Amino acid sequence: MIKKVLCMSALVSSIAVASKGEFIGSGKGYNGEIKVKVSGENNQIKEIEVIKHEESGFTRRAMKKISDEIITTQSLDVDNIAGATYTSEGLKEAVAKAIASSGIILNKVAVKNKMTSEYKDIDTDVVVVGGGGAGLAAAIAAKENGARVILLEKMPMVGGNTNYATGGINAADTSVQKKLGIEDSAELYYNDTMKGGKNLNDVSLVKKLTQESKYAIDWLISKGTDLTEVS
pLDDT tens by residue, 77-122: 898 987 788 999 999 999 999 988 776 766 654 444 444 567 788 8
**23, pLDDT greater than 60:** yes
Task: Decide: 39 and 99 in contact? Cβ < 8 Å.
Answer: no
Residue 126 is predicted with a pLDDT of: 97
Confidence at 44, pLDDT banded by 50, 70, 90: confident
What does CATH list as the number for 2-100?
3.90.1010.20
Residue 26 neighbours by CB under 8 Å, 6+ apart: 33, 34, 35, 36, 52, 93, 94, 97
Q: Residues 185-195: pLDDT tens digits?
A: 999 999 999 99
Question: In Å, how far are 16, 28, 103, 140, 202 from 38, measured between CA atoms?
Answer: 18, 17, 12, 40, 51
**Range list of H helices, 20-152:** 58-73, 85-100, 133-144
Q: What is the mean pLDDT of the chain?
A: 84
Residue 83 is predicted with a pLDDT of: 78
- Taken as a whole, the chain contains a residue count of 231
Residue 16 is predicted with a pLDDT of: 30
Residue 92 is predicted with a pLDDT of: 94
**35, pLDDT greater than 90:** yes
The pTM of the full predicted model, rounded to 2 decimals, is: 0.54
CATH 3.90.1010.20 residue window(s) in the chain: 2-100
Residue 4 is predicted with a pLDDT of: 38
Residue 100 is predicted with a pLDDT of: 84
